[in-house]
Structure 1
């Protein structure tokens, strides 16, 4: 066992995105081994329309829990069920709820994402008011059905291993291990759970590997810029990444436009391993989609509240410090605005007296 203990603590007593105003992209998804056509021809489709490609979109929405899986072959008709699914998708991903396929919605659908479903597939949602933040702010984290979590005698320490065979040849093994050390450390900082790296892959609690296409878990990967990875709820421990992606650890030196930040996806999938579902907060690590070349590995208040709901807070970590960071800018902005108004008023007076 390697001597990496990120954090230890007592067991508690009590668990990928495109900007909404971005232009439509030419991202091609893959589904069941076949390239998806671009969804761009679906722009502004709404209830009552019939457009080629809607059947594929219905399969996409069904896969991630927004529609029931059809007993018969899906059609290209935009019916009431499709409209309800689109509205649910828009609500869940924090988009304007229009019920039609506007550019913001299509951009998000066409973005690379995690393979774990947003609704259905055993996911339960939680809606809480943050009294610490002064009220009025709703938490958007979710859990797997039944709120499964890791439990064992105090202290709670999980081992993890990265496969020596399921890899990508352009990233050195030590580079990948360093990325995962940092990703596990982000979660260990906020909850009383330790993570220890081990070389014994079969015996590890969490098992990480890069795989291509069908890889034995019944959920095949779909090629570049589709599903980036997936992970299973506690206590399964499997964390899989699509080897077909162009994974990067430093966007400063990476030139590929389609590169995906490994640390961001690793941090996200570890959240699933710990028991978190997806968040509807676009800034959260647990938001389901991630743009190429985007880095989003820092845990937000929403991510931390969710995982602390399952495991409790880590001694020495104060969530209030993040609340203070969120609110400290408001008075500053007001002060700056007031100062600017004062300066303008003085200038006006001076000009009128000249």
Structure 2
């Protein structure tokens, strides 16, 4: 035990030295997304859809035209024209059924409470199955215990490719920030989020102060921020990220972000770490999951914390990059899929700190 502790301490010191000397990798340009509206409801508040409860084919309710734009925005139906009406027609019914199927809801073809609750929930801006902008292909496999996995990839399954092992640099913008969150707290959130993915795959992430040279660029932005996909204000689209090897990860500065729900009792607070972990999955090449428990599920509610990867998340990212030799799927059963405790104190690191730190050291030294 004493030798293990000495090994862990030695690795900690060595890792600290290497991180201090690490040089950021170059920028990987990628084509910008096609222009499109990120305003989920054309400027109408997301909660205004509540009047659509129990609408079904044949109904005519104010707001259905905006719902059609919402479903088109995320890839469930063709973009409606200027003459779009508030009629619940056959095309809308097909789109609603597709939405319900894709997100693991009861398939009723009508706007029941479960479906409407899901539609009104804050969500990621990446489309669920939008073949024009961010198409994904469903990859079904068998997970542990016979559970069907529902992870997806971006079209063409893009991924980061470099000499093995892969080490990516990341930086949080020093200017695109929110003034009520301490920079150190935001950086700590992303350190934990990146480390969580690194535990599952043979990939390392190194934080750098050189934002322009970083492979992955994180920033908070409001409204139209120059990438063709403007944000829409509080409790709508929370953030979006682009597929490899673009590296941009954007969060809506209009949201009320929280890093500690015990300290922040705001009812509309969104957990930063949960969304950060989700968007990093997109940066790595994952699309949305149809499993409601997965980190890569497209929506999250205010004051909900979902930071731990599920079997579905892990199977998806490992399909792209392979498995970290130090990782075992059995470790997922030792933690809940949601948690209010800091990941740094969870069982992710329990009993394997020395091996994990030494693995990170080897990856970084090899990269340099």
Matched, 1:117 2:127: yes
> Does the 8 A contact of 1:30 with 1:223 survive in 2?
no
> Does the 8 A contact of 2:309 with 2:332 survive in 1?
no
Closer/same/farther in 2, CA of residues 33 and 48 from structure 1, 3 Å limit: closer
> Does the 8 A contact of 1:37 with 1:53 survive in 2?
no
Partner of 2:323: 313
| Structure 1 residue 55, shift from structure 2 partner | 0.2
| Structure 1 residue 220, shift from structure 2 partner | 0.3
| Structure 1 residue 86, shift from structure 2 partner | 0.5
Matched, 1:60 2:70: yes
Q: Distance in 1 between matches of 2:105 and 2:18?
A: 45
Q: Distance in 1 between matches of 2:320 and 2:49?
A: 38
> Does the 8 A contact of 2:74 with 2:129 survive in 1?
yes
Matched, 1:166 2:179: no
Matched, 1:46 2:56: yes
* SS of residue paired to 2:141: coil
> Does the 8 A contact of 2:46 with 2:236 survive in 1?
no
Partner of 1:302: 312
| Structure 1 residue 255, shift from structure 2 partner | 1.6
Q: Distance in 2 between matches of 1:107 and 1:3?
A: 48
* Equivalent residues, number: 300
Q: Deviations over 1:313-350 (max 9, x none)?
A: 00111114436989xxxxxxxxxxxxxxxxxxxxxxxx
**Which deviates more from structure 2 when the two are superposed, residues 263-272 or residues 115-124?**
115-124
Q: Distance in 2 between matches of 1:157 and 1:267?
A: 18
> Does the 8 A contact of 1:63 with 1:69 survive in 2?
yes
Matched, 1:93 2:103: yes
* SS of residue paired to 2:48: coil
Partner of 1:23: none
Moved over 6 A (4+): 323-326
* SS of residue paired to 1:195: strand
Partner of 2:191: 181
Alignment of 1:1-354 (within 5 A): 4=19, 31-33=41-43, 35=45, 38-120=48-130, 121-130=134-143, 132-133=144-145, 135=146, 137-322=147-332
Q: Distance in 2 between matches of 1:214 and 1:78?
A: 31
> Does the 8 A contact of 1:260 with 1:292 survive in 2?
yes
Query: Normalised by the size of structure 2, how large is the TM-score?
Result: 0.78
> Does the 8 A contact of 1:33 with 1:213 survive in 2?
no
Q: Distance in 2 between matches of 1:216 and 1:3?
A: 35
Q: Distance in 2 between matches of 1:226 and 1:324?
A: 33
Q: Distance in 2 between matches of 1:37 and 1:295?
A: 21
| Structure 1 residue 72, shift from structure 2 partner | 3.9
Q: Deviations over 1:129-153 (max 9, x none)?
A: 23x43x3x21100000000000011
Q: Deviations over 1:178-206 (max 9, x none)?
A: 00000000000000000000111111110
Q: Distance in 1 between matches of 2:272 and 2:287?
A: 19
| Structure 1 residue 105, shift from structure 2 partner | 0.5
Partner of 1:12: none
Q: Deviations over 1:230-278 (max 9, x none)?
A: 0000000000000000000000110210000000000000000000000
Closer/same/farther in 2, CA of residues 317 and 36 from structure 1, 3 Å limit: closer
Consecutive unaligned residues of structure 1, counting only runs of 5 or more, are: 6-28, 327-354
> Does the 8 A contact of 1:3 with 1:196 survive in 2?
no
Query: Normalised by the size of structure 1, how large is the TM-score?
Result: 0.81
Closer/same/farther in 2, CA of residues 116 and 79 from structure 1, 3 Å limit: same
* SS of residue paired to 1:114: coil
